[in-house]
Amino acid sequence: MARRRVDYLLIGGGLAAANCARWLREEGADGSVLLVGREYDPPYNRPPLSKGYLQRKESREDALFRPDDWWAEQEIELLTRTTVTRLDARERVASLSTRDEIEFDKALLATGANVRRLRAEGNDLNGIDYLRTLPNSTTIGADADRAERVVLIGGSYIGTEVAASLTAAHDVQCAIVMQEDVTLERFYGPEVGGYFQRVLEEHGVEVHGGQELERFEGRGGRVAKVVTKVGLELECDAVVIGAGVIPEVTLARQAGLELGEAGGVKASAQLESSVPGIFTAGDICEYDSPIHSRPMRIEHWDVAFNQGKTAALNMLGRGVEHTVVPYFFSDLADWTGMEYVGPGSGEVVVRGSMDEGDFTAFYVDDGRVTAALTVGRSDDLEHASRFITERPQLDPAALADEGTDLASLAR
């Protein structure tokens, strides 16, 4: 066992930790930086795993956060395939699966999230996959190549994106089975979710709403059928489950860091945890959002990216609050795509045409925009972000009216 000291220890090899490392260096940190992640691959972007990489339009290298030699150039020590097994927050020492012990000055805890696993009879059959990592995506693509029909369990963004990618690029029949009545309705409501469901169905994806999974049946050890509680039976050769994620707080809990109501690591607006000098970012971070005036934990790529930067700045003592409006994007193959700022809820006010796939849906609560989703109108999001931050009282009719210049509203 060896014991050594670093200035900055970044735990978790995902986007939040990677971008934190980058910004430490860009902002002039000259101390030692060690990034420890337990995956086989160096930090990479997950969005292509359900989109371009799964469609084989993008390579593994395209998905990487930075090329392999960048880490050494930046003098960032990168330990992949290494787990931080214990964190002593008071003594500021981390134990690694390599049996090394690392003393640190400042740390970032960015251990991300794990997939939510479903318990159902037959769930250990071959051909039932979850999607979180690069190897998962490779396996799903290979399974789809051998399949005539793939069933997606879950009608959220993993289920819908994977159904679109497999249909478009692997020439396989896809069927979505979900608890909700309409795809994506839990995030965006039935009206907006219905737009995405129509696009999926127009491209041949079967959608079965209001269904609760009962069991999987197999043949020769491989999944062959999905059966739901009301008796829907779908023959298939592979299954992909997208049932949400759970923040990976094992280490945080062991270290005694305070956890929040949404199950993440509680953090201030500066992303500092309950232990001074230990910061958090990304899918596990439950921060006191100055924009929303309440604690938020958000599982978006862009949030992990920007929080990694905010954490880096605060590790350098800059004292900045995380005030970026959370942004999300999703694509259904090259059929349609959306961008979203929020999160928020309220009455849906549509500007443009859903039938033509060219619209922005504003979510308006008590005259204030809390969120917005756009298909094909990225510029609207800039205005929506301003409305979310400044919280002006707006007339829904003016938002919906294409004749209104959004830039002029509430100025």
What are the residues binding ligand FAD (CB under 6 A)? 11-17, 36-39, 46-47, 49-50, 83-84, 110-113, 131-132, 158, 248, 251, 282-283, 299-302, 304, 328-330
Q: Which amino acid is at 9?
A: L
The residue among 242, 283, 244 whose CA lies nearest residue 265 is: 283
Beta carbon nearer to ligand FAD, 167 or 228: 167
Beta carbon nearer to ligand FAD, 38 or 92: 38
Q: How far is the CB of 46 from ligand FAD (least distance, A)?
A: 3
Instruction: Give the Cβ contact number of residue 288 at 10 Å.
Output: 18
Beta carbon nearer to ligand FAD, 11 or 406: 11
* Structure tokens that stand for 274 in this block: 């309950």
Q: How far is the CB of 50 from ligand FAD (least distance, A)?
A: 4
Beta carbon nearer to ligand FAD, 47 or 127: 47
- Continuous H helices in 55-184: 60-63, 70-73, 134-145, 157-170
Distance CA 160, CA 366 (A): 31
Q: How far is the CB of 326 from ligand FAD (least distance, A)?
A: 9
Distance CA 140, CA 134 (A): 10
The residue among 93, 411, 115 whose CA lies nearest residue 275 is: 93
By the 8 A CB rule, do 196 and 160 touch?
yes
User: Which positions ≥6 away from 239 have C-beta within 8 Å?
Assistant: 127, 128, 129, 150, 151, 152, 153, 216, 223, 226
Beta carbon nearer to ligand FAD, 40 or 261: 40
Q: How far is the CB of 167 from ligand FAD (least distance, A)?
A: 16
Q: How far is the CB of 86 from ligand FAD (least distance, A)?
A: 9
Q: What are phi and psi of 159, to 5 degrees?
A: -60, -45
Distance CA 298, CA 376 (A): 24
Q: How far is the CB of 16 from ligand FAD (least distance, A)?
A: 3
| Dihedral angle sign, alpha carbons of residues 146, 151, 154, 156 | positive
Q: How far is the CB of 161 from ligand FAD (least distance, A)?
A: 7
Q: What are phi and psi of 284, to 5 degrees?
A: -90, -10
Q: How far is the CB of 214 from ligand FAD (least distance, A)?
A: 26
Beta carbon nearer to ligand FAD, 207 or 271: 271
Q: Of all helices (H) and strands (E), which one includes residue 399?
A: helix 396-400
DSSP 248-285: --HHHHHHT--B-TTSSEEE-TT-B-SSTTEEE-GGGE
Beta carbon nearer to ligand FAD, 48 or 228: 48
Beta carbon nearer to ligand FAD, 315 or 406: 315
Q: How far is the CB of 45 from ligand FAD (least distance, A)?
A: 7
Beta carbon nearer to ligand FAD, 46 or 351: 46
